[in-house]
């Protein structure tokens, strides 16, 4: 799965990288984006791309309450065309979700049941942003006068060789060569689109252990992606 990621690149730089118009809503930099936070997503309207803000956690149009979105932060690539929450969006409402990297937690198989998992930061070796494959929806709810609720989800797939050392899933990372096909709303060839939802080239995913400070969603600073020695005693420990 993908439950936390980094979105710290300035919006104008994100817009330039993805060749989009500048976003209307400006989001604060976050090194610890958590479910239900607002995130950027890239959409296409014909030949024009847009960078817009969405709530992370997809709310289907048939939902009675937007709180259901907290359970839909990820969508499995293998079942997009089958699940009622995702199949309509898979066909018509696809997006890219920019990220500077993401976090995953590894459990030590030799540790006890109460042992803390070690968090890792996964990123592009050259520091470039990732383009997660995503889906989006607009929920209007029972009250048609309320503000539409714009939400999205990140698609996950099996891990590549690097990710498999710490977890059994990873976000789908689309190369630039696939962006146009993925964003094209007239493209409803689900078989073709499904073939894009594969593990990323292992060379594009490097990782290192980071502090357990990332476990607290209130922590948002750049110190969260700094490499640490997982075997070192906690700060302040008497030796």
Q: Which of 21, 24, 95, 104 is catalytic?
A: 104
Question: Dihedral of the CA atoms 71, 73, 75, 76 (nearest 10)?
Answer: -90
Q: How many Cα atoms sit within 13 Å of 106 on the Cβ side?
A: 19
Residue entry with tokens 């420990």: 237
Q: Which of 2, 95, 137, 152 is catalytic?
A: 2
104 annotated active-site: yes
Element (H, E) at 179: helix 176-183
78 annotated active-site: no
Phi, psi of 77 (to 5 degrees): -60, -35
Residue entry with tokens 């929806």: 137
The 8-class DSSP code of residue 93 comes to -
Catalytic residue set: 2, 104
């Amino acid at each position: 799965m993908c439950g936390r990621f980094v979105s710290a690149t300035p919006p104008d730089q994100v817009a330039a990288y993805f060749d989009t118009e500048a976003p209307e809503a400006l989001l604060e930099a976050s090194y610890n984006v958590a479910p239900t936070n607002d995130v950027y997503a890239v959409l296409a309207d014909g030949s024009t791309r847009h960078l817009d803000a969405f709530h992370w956690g997809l709310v289907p149009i048939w939902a009675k309450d937007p709180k259901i979105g907290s359970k839909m932060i990820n969508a499995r690539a293998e079942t997009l065309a089958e699940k009622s929450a995702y199949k309509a969006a898979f066909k018509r409402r696809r997006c890219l979700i920019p990220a500077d990297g993401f976090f995953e937690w590894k459990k030590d198989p030799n540790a006890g049941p109460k042992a803390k998992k070690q968090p890792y930061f996964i990123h592009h070796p050259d520091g470039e942003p990732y383009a997660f494959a995503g889906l989006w929806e607009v929920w209007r709810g029972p009250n048609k006068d309320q503000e539409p609720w714009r939400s999205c989800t990140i698609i996950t797939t099996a891990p590549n060789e690097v990710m498999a050392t710490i977890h059994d899933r990873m976000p789908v990372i689309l190369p630039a060569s696939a962006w146009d096909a993925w964003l094209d709303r007239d493209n409803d060839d689900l078989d073709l689109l499904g073939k894009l939802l594969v593990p990323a080239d292992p060379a594009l995913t490097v990782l290192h252990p980071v502090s357990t400070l990332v476990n607290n969603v209130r922590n948002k600073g750049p110190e969260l992606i700094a490499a640490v020695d997982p075997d070192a005693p906690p700060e302040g420990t008497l030796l």
